[in-house]
């Protein structure tokens, strides 16, 4: 089996079809029909990734993600029926690493899952520390501090910051960031990059409305200052 996936989805038909498709792709799938059951299964057994619907009975997907994030850095891919920018913002803030809009094609979903698993399995290279402005980045420890105070980042936010800082002064397009941080290009949605940049700025910039560390290059992409 490639990996163990916890699928939390309340729609029986989507749950069944998705579980069958993921099983055929080599994944071991456990399902849950609501947020409370999903959290219980998460706490009872080890998984490699959570596939999480946003709209769930008893406990919605956002709250499930928040509770998972209290104890785990497990990759979370959220399923949303709307895909509105605000849904993406809330999902990323809750701790999701990626999102897929319904209705989705199974090959796309499987590609997103494999990309998230690859990112989760990436190990740090020989470079152990980076700095930008008054931020200190410990790559091995996956921590960011400002003047000794920890700044909590999600896995994706941390990877995005690392990619930008490693190429400080260089403009990285949205497509490049999708490929390097999320692990896909033709499947990508550039809004995902924009929202992730916004969330990252809200945490690392002194004034997110006037960013000094991560700048937008209109029509081209983003860059970290040297």
DSSP notation for 26-54: T-EEEEESSHHHHHHHHHHS--SEEEEES
For 20-34, 40-54, 123-137, 172-186, which range has the lowest pLDDT when averaged over its residues?
Answer: 123-137
For 90-94, 124-128, 165-169, which range has the lowest pLDDT when averaged over its residues?
Answer: 124-128
Q: Would the pLDDT of 105 be above 80? A: yes
The pLDDT assigned to 62 comes to 93
Exposure class string for 30-42: b at 16+ Cβ within 10 A, else e: bbbbbbbbbbebb
The pLDDT assigned to 118 comes to 82
Q: Is 127 exposed, middle or buried (0-12, 13-18, 19+ CB in 10 A)?
A: exposed
Q: Which pLDDT tens digit goes with each residue over 149-168?
A: 999 998 889 999 999 998 99
What is the share, in percent, of the chain residues with pLDDT greater than 70? Answer: 92
pTM as predicted:
0.69
> If you average pLDDT over residues 15-34, what whole number do you get?
94
The pLDDT assigned to 161 comes to 95
């Amino acid at each position: 089996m490639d990996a163990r996936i916890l699928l939390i989805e309340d729609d029986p038909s989507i749950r069944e079809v998705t579980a069958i498709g993921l099983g055929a792709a080599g994944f071991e799938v456990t399902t849950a029909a609501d947020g409370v059951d999903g959290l219980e299964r998460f706490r009872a057994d080890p998984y490699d990734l959570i596939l999480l619907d946003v709209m769930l009975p008893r406990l919605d997907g956002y709250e499930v993600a928040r509770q998972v994030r209290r104890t785990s850095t497990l990759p979370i891919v959220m399923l949303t029926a709307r895909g509105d920018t605000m849904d993406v913002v809330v999902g990323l803030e809750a701790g999701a690493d990626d999102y897929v809009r319904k209705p989705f094609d199974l090959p796309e979903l499987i590609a997103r899952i494999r990309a998230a698993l690859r990112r989760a399995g990436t190990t740090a290279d020989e470079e152990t520390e980076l700095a930008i402005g008054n931020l200190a980045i410990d790559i091995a420890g996956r921590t960011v501090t400002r003047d000794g105070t920890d700044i909590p980042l999600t896995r994706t936010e941390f990877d995005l910051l690392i990619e930008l800082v490693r190429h400080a002064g260089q403009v990285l397009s949205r497509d490049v960031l999708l490929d390097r941080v999320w692990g896909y290009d033709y499947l990508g949605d550039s809004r995902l990059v924009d929202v992730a940049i916004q969330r990252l700025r809200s945490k690392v910039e002194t004034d997110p409305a006037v960013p000094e560390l991560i700048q937008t290059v209109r029509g081209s992409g983003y860059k970290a200052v040297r």
